[in-house]
Amino acid sequence: MRCRLLLSALAAIATAADPPVATSYDYIVVGSGPGGGPLACDLARAGYPTLLIEAGTDQGDNPTYADMANFNEAANDDATRWDFWVKHSDDPARELKFEHMTWDSGDGTFYVGLDPPAGAKQLGIQYPRAGVLGGCAMHNGGVCSLPQDDDWNIIVNKTGDASWEASKMRKYLKKIEKNDYLAAGNADHRYTGWLSTSTSDATWAKNESLPMTKILKEMARLTGQNPNDTANLVNRDILGAYTNKDELTSFFSMVQHADKSGKRSSPNNYIRATLADPAKYPLTVMLNTLATRVLFNTASGSTPVATGVEIMQGGSMYKADPKHVPGSKGPLVQLAAKREVIVSGGTFNSPQILKLSGLGPTAELKGFNITVIKDLPGVGEQLADNYEGSVLGLGQVPVDGGLITMMFRTNATAPTKKRNIFTWCGAFSFEGFWPGFPTYYGPNQYTCAMVHMSPKSQAGSVRLRSADPQDVPDINFNFFLNNGDRDLAEMVEAGELLRKAWQAAGAPVLPFKELHPCPGTNAGANCTDASQAEHYKLQAYSHHASSTCAIGADDDPMAVLDSKFRVRGVKGLRVVDASSFPVVPGAFPVLPTMMISAKAAEDILADAGTR
């Protein structure tokens, strides 16, 4: 049968009072982002009645979200924004040195900075997430890149499951991709999947008089590329299948999950297409619905079995939602899953849901009087993220040209032969996240932003504040806690290289007035390695959280999942989202998460005849 899309804010298909079309489904998927949304569609398309639960609304027709160029506005829009106020360390004094620390001014406004007004309440460091059909793929910048092979192979090494070998994972990219930027026939890609991928025009690189082209050529020289071939190198396929790709320092095209007209392509599109398909796939979507816990049968047999979920109905029920009304609560309803429950709430909410359901560290659960279903010490631990930073300055005139995208290895500090920095440079500013970001410094602004790949520390945590499912958990990334000096040295070396490349812009752009990390017009002389490392340590930001419900080995007490995404110690429950990765998957996790969603669907359907 064909089930309805419930409570769509734009389509107004149903009202808040409408009950679910059915009270029992084969599969219930919690969370419609890059992990859960496509998975629910795949299960329904295989013929299994599937319920997809989303706490937010449907903004698929809203240009703020549908047009990729509006991604900054989308991330700031309180129609979907969830504010997680996180910490970067356990040191309160260090936290207060973060230049974009955010405070509640007490008058309905935020203060961002180091000198809050009297009486302001410290909130923390903003980490925006999206409560919306399609998840964070509806408000991000859409950047697509692939993990390093080691990021896949580590799962093989931990679990012995050869299906995770890097050479075998590309098929999931090909399963989902609708390539809009390469001529048909490229065997490394697919042209008929649900996820459109496209690139922007890079013909500007042929104009050697542009300041950006001069910087481009200098970046090529500094990284061992051919400066005379940069106009071609900027079009190199970042999703290509290259021999020893992880050791390839090169410029690349900036691929986004958008079609060639600039329209965002995300799980939202796939969900809508599944609901509208004449095949009448059995997919039900419930919006404005907060999952509060997973339900278990503990009476029959020695192993608890997930039997469904409890939900709270109503809009803005979660306190991370800026529209949440204090004290508001919706009715609680229990829904049954005949086969499995799949939690795909993301790196913050998936461990929260598991803990509220009785799965997690025993001491933490007992501290909130939560009945322990299974002691899983790793739930909410090993939080990981890429470190991000930037070199930002102002030219004397605008730095004309396009966007430079490059992955490279810092020669002096990289621990292996593999690339460790993803950078993109252009006439923009990006310094992290805070209410109202980014700062516009005028037409002469120029930034090289960078993502540090393969961070050596993943010592963060997501822990409950209470047993109330509406509460936001306590999130501490513990940046640079382990081997931090090594990661910082790599970031400093990368920044130095990018700064050197700037100097090729020539007149009339020069001299650059650098804003950070080395303020001034003679930055190289005014800044030491130590001062730059201190800057990145205090001001690094992130938005690629992972690993709080990690896949791991049978004998690893911190492993939450097996290689088939099954939660250890119980039956009928899986977690499929970025929290599943043992390590941060490359430079941008959105595409890898959609790839593992396709893998999870394959694994679940293979098990469909068993419980």
**Number of C-alpha atoms within 13 angstroms, CB side, residue 541?**
22
Q: Which of 128, 87, 81, 125 is nearest to 103 (CA)?
A: 125
List, in sequence order, every residue forming a beta bridge with 166; answer none if it has no partner. none
Residue holding tokens 């930034």?
Answer: 447
Cα 245–chain centre separation: 23
Pairing of strands 381-383, 460-463: antiparallel
Q: H helices then E strands: how many in the chain?
A: 15, 26
Q: Which two tokens stand for residue 409?
A: 């290895």
Whether residue 141 is annotated as binding a ligand: the answer is: yes
| Cβ(254)–Cβ(247) below 8 Å | no
Whether residue 140 is annotated as binding a ligand: the answer is: yes
Q: Which two tokens stand for residue 401?
A: 């040209």
Q: Which of 273, 246, 161, 151 is nearest to 584 (CA)?
A: 151
Whether residue 143 is annotated as binding a ligand: the answer is: yes
| Cβ(535)–Cβ(310) below 8 Å | no
Q: Residue 376: what residue type?
A: L
Q: Which residues of 575-598 are buried (b: 16+ CB within 10 A; e: fewer)?
A: bbbbbbbbbbbbbbbbbbbbbbbb
Q: Which two tokens stand for residue 175?
A: 């399963």
What gap in Å lies between CA 97 and CA 114, rounded to an integer?
7
What gap in Å lies between CA 604 and CA 27, rounded to an integer?
10
Residue holding tokens 């279903």?
Answer: 373
Cα 331–chain centre separation: 31
Whether residue 609 is annotated as binding a ligand: the answer is: no
Handedness of CA 593, 599, 603, 608 (dihedral sign): positive
Helix (H) or strand (E) holding 356: helix 346-356
Q: What is the DSSP string of 460-495?
A: EEEE-S-S-TTSPPEEE--TTTTTHHHHHHHHHHHH
| Cβ(206)–Cβ(235) below 8 Å | no
Q: Which two tokens stand for residue 81?
A: 């924004």
What gap in Å lies between CA 117 and CA 140, rounded to an integer?
32
List, in order, residues 6 or more apart from 91 with CB less than 8 Å away.
none
CA distances from 160 to 149, 152, 572 (A): 16, 12, 22
What gap in Å lies between CA 31 and CA 311, rounded to an integer?
12
Q: At what angle do helices 484-502 and 529-539 cross, to 10 degrees?
A: 110
Residue ranges for the known binding site for FAD are: 132, 140-143
Residue ranges for the known binding site are: 132, 140-143
